[in-house]
Amino acid sequence: DVVRGQLACLRPRGWLNDEVINFYFKLLQERCKRIPGMRQCWLPNSFFWPMLCGRQCMEYSYKNVKRWSKRAKVDIFKVDYVLFPMNVNGMHWAVGAIDFRDRGFRYLDSMFDSPHPNFAKFLRRYVNDEHLSRHGTPLEGIHSWDVLEEPCGVPRQHNGYDCGVFTCGFAEYLASGRTQLCGQADMAILRKRLAARIIRADEMWDNT
């Protein structure tokens, strides 16, 4: 659970901490289960990527995350997206996604254009290892999966502290199947919405 002291980061100019981001991803997970029209998603927490990619994103380890999907009772090949928050160099947030609808990977980052060079490489290995573990065979065509371009580009932050808010907004965009990403002009109201949703700990919010 998130305590009120941890919510202070949602005040204007605050840099979101991992407790707030992970809790919001948990709410989105429950929302995907309960709201008609939401994408089928699995949203592991911010430890997923560093456990998978190792120190400085250079040491792939399926062993570190092999039990994660089983513990969550999820077969990733039956979902639309696997969405996970990424802490980049300990100072920036972005969203990584495995897209089973379009057979590729997404990287939504409000500051940088490209992910780490091992992003797609390690996710290809993860998806293939997961298929081997779950279904006993390599996943056909996995070697062609790569980073997908966002049709309208990814909005940019105009400061050094809104990346976590963008990250939560980007995750909701993918999970809900919306056609428009949030932008810098949405950050103030989105901070208020995040705070209200987390305080209520209720995934059944209105989209108004």
pLDDT (tens digit, 9 = 90+) per residue, 16-44?
999 999 999 999 999 999 999 999 999 99
pLDDT at 5 over 80: no
In this prediction, residue 64 carries a pLDDT of 98
pTM (2 decimals)?
0.94
Catalytic residues: 92, 109, 163
- C-alpha–C-alpha distance, residues 36 and 125, integer Å: 32
pLDDT at 2 over 90: no
Q: 156 near 100, Cβ under 8 Å? A: no
Q: Contacts from 62-65 at CB under 8 Å and sequence distance 24+?
A: 62/125, 62/126, 62/129, 62/130, 65/126
In this prediction, residue 6 carries a pLDDT of 81
